[in-house]
Amino acid sequence: MKKKYMLLPAMAAAATLVLVGCSSAGDTEAGGLSIEVPDVPMVEELGEAEGEVNIVAWSGFVEPAWSDQFTEDTGCVVNRRVAGTSDEMVTLMRTGDYDLVSASGDASLRLIAGGDVAPINIDLIPNFGDDIVEGMKGQIYDTINGKSYGIPIGRGANILQYNSEVVTETPTSWDVVWEEDSPYAGEITAYDAPIYIADAAVYLMTHEPDLGITNPYALDQEQLDAAIELLKTQNGIVSEYWADPVAQITSYAGGTSVVGTSWEILRKLTEDEKFKSVLPEEGSTGWSDAWMISAESKNPNCGYLWMDYTSSAEVNGAIAMGFGMAPANAAFCETSDEAAAHCEYFHATDEEYFKNVWFWTTPIEQCIDGRTDVTCTNFQQWTDAWLTVKG
């Protein structure tokens, strides 16, 4: 089970990201935005494999079940370092000791902006083809100024989980976890990280339209203040903040919590049918992971070979099933009845489902919703604001 969100000390979570960007009329890349990032060269062609590749990854992404075959095929020995949080991944990648990282959207822009990762030559990744689901191509969290910095691995939504023996009517709105008069006050789980501010913003997009929020990761100061106010209100009705998935499962199984934000895999791991889930009418946040290659990679050839190998239907599917997420390669869904069932459970090819999901994107000063008349709040400001929520 992936323990990617074990909470780090506050200061560790306060990795600074301050991007200064510019909008260019007529730009079509990355949501119509052009963002100034370090000019890191891209590999133009592959050479001889170096004999090893050093990878920072979430638990379950690099396993002997498929890495041994990769070593046998290429001669590249795979050295894995499992990370527990996105902040830890960013820190490790900045040591220069690793070639690859399986970054989530709340880390990828930090790595790109810091010049820590290089753009990827897609032509050298034959398995990055038409079978990769459209919803994971060209997204702003890993594609900047028309350059791809990430090879998609998998994705998932942050869904609303509930105990159907207590919450007997299927919720249609996130209001049961945000409103002070919720009938489940005191039995609500909330995610414990600055990026959870985006969940409040998603709710405000529908219920406070006058705030003008059109992207939960593009908040000016007034919008951020509104989200923090909502989070502080929610603080009074939360039974448990979770960053460790095991603690979240325990909270539900033990009856401490009956409703709150979750992942499909966590609900499944409860192995109890009374726990249900829904994607509420407001939509939700979510996460999408991608391989990124270090700007200082000492083994770029093995790194590229790994990214291609793990993008194949079989290997990408094995990672997705092992971890519990929707695979990036849709061809996997047609490889067996088991694969088809997995893809259906995790909505792998259901783009209509994922259209309602706002994937984690590091907040930056440039408003990624296209506004140019205001400055948006950056990740450091989100981190500082999050520290005020729980007092």
Q: Which pLDDT belongs to residue 222?
A: 98
Q: Do 338 and 348 lie in a common domain?
A: yes
Question: Does 33 reside within a domain?
Answer: no
pLDDT of residue 4: 41
Residue 175 lies in a domain: yes
Q: 156-201 pLDDT, tens per residue?
A: 999 999 999 999 999 999 999 999 999 999 999 999 989 999 999 9
d(CA 357, CA 155): 10
> What is the CATH number for 76?
3.40.190.10
Tell which residue, 161, 173, 342, has the closest CA to residue 264. 161
Structural domain boundaries, residue 214: 158-286+365-387
Least confident interval from 7-11, 184-188, 278-282, 369-373: 7-11
Whether pLDDT at 301 is above 50: yes
Q: Are residues 371 and 280 in the same domain?
A: yes
Question: How does residue 138 score in pLDDT terms, banded at 50, 70 and 90?
Answer: confident
Q: In which band, very low, low, confident or very high, does the pLDDT at 270 lie, cut at 50, 70 and 90? A: confident
Do residues 329 and 351 both lie within one domain? yes
Tell which residue, 254, 281, 261, 305, has the closest CA to residue 124.
305
Q: Can you read off the two tokens belonging to residue 285? A: 């946040």
Together in a domain, 133 and 221: no
Q: Are residues 101 and 147 in the same domain?
A: yes
3-state secondary structure of 136: helix
pLDDT at position 33, please?
56
Structural domain includes residue 338: yes
- Give the total number of structural domains in the chain: 2
pTM of the model: 0.85
Q: Residue 12: is its pLDDT beyond 80?
A: no
Question: Rounded CA gap, 112 and 42, in Å?
Answer: 13
Confidence of residue 85 (pLDDT cuts 50, 70, 90): confident
The answer on 338 and 374 residing in a single domain is no
Residue 27 located in a structural domain = no
Task: Indicate if the pLDDT at residue 323 is higher than 60.
Answer: yes
Specify the DSSP element, H or E, that contains 275: strand 275-278
Same domain, 252 and 304: no
Rounded to an integer, what distance in angstroms lies between the CA atom of residue 388 and that of residue 229?
Answer: 10
Q: What's the distance, Cα to Cα, between the start and end of the chain in Å?
A: 31
Say what percent of the chain tops pLDDT 70. Answer: 91
**85 with 132, same domain?**
yes
